[in-house]
Structure 1
Amino acid sequence: MNSIFSIATGALRAFGIKQKSTATNIANINTGDYKPLDVNMQETQNGGVKAYVTRSGDACRVDIAKEMVDMLVTADSFKANTEPIKAEDEMFKSLIDIKV
């Protein structure tokens, strides 16, 4: 079983990929033949998550409303995944205090 830290940091990496893809889509909103990026998240065997980036098959318009919602969801996901890291950090601090 992986530690809370490794699972949460893996999720942060995956959501970083999602945020970067969203930013790329927004930056290319006026590019005529741009194929938007899609990110699919998949659970790994060790309890983590991995992000897979694909391009849309056809050149189409970037949906700014969808991209903005994706940015908000990703920001909330970053915040949610920092909480377990903070909790593990506090547990280690408590353990050190007990041993000292």
Structure 2
Amino acid sequence: MASISSIGTSGMQTAQLRLDASANNVANMNTPRYQRQVVEQEATPGGAGVTGSVRRSQEEGVALEQEAVEQMSATYAFKASLQVVKTQDQMMGSLLDVKA
């Protein structure tokens, strides 16, 4: 069984990967024949978190509005994963207070 902090950390890493790919897409949106980067996200075996892999889209071009939505979504995913880690830390502190 995976620890809660490793699940939250993997979520933050994947969200950061999504932000990086989207930022790269925006930076290259005026590059001729540029194929945008897409992050595929999937659960790891055993429920130990998530992994992300970057691939190139089949279509050429970048839609700025799509990238803005992707960046907001990745930011919310990062914040949610961070909250998981913070909550686990608080729970561990409370448990130590009870046991001490």
Instruction: Write the mapping of 1:61-100 to structure 2, written as runs, cut at 5 A.
Output: 61-100=61-100
- Equivalent residue, structure 2, for 1:53: 54
Same amino acid, percent of matched pairs? 34
Equivalent pairs, count: 99
**Distance in 2 separating the partners of 1:84 and 1:55:** 31
- SS of residue paired to 1:46: helix
Cα displacement string for residues 17-60 of structure 1 (whole angstroms, at most 9, x for unaligned residues):
111000000000111121110111111112111101101234x2
**Whole-angstrom distance in 2 between the partners of 1:7 and 1:46:** 11
CA deviation vs aligned residue, 1:45-89 (integer Å, no higher than 9, x gap): 12111101101234x210111100000111111111111111111
Gaps of 5+ in 2: none
Q: Distance between the aligned counterparts of 1:46 and 1:63, measured in 2?
A: 36
Determine helix, strand or coil for the equivalent of 2:40. strand
Q: 4+ residue runs of structure 1 moved beyond 4 angstroms?
A: none
TM-score of the superposition, structure 1-length normalised? Answer: 0.91
Find the aligned partners of 1:53 and 1:46 in 2 and give their Cα distance: 22
- TM-score, normalising length from structure 2? 0.91
**Separation of aligned partners in 2, 1:94 and 1:39:** 37
AA aligned opposite 1:27 = A
Cα distance in 1 for residues equivalent to 2:90 and 2:11: 20
How large is the RMSD of aligned CA atoms in angstroms? 1.2
Deviation at 1:98, TM superposition (A): 2.3
Secondary structure of the 2:66 match is helix
Match in the other structure for 2:11? 11
What residue identity is the alignment partner of 2:97? Answer: D
SS in 1 for 2:33: coil
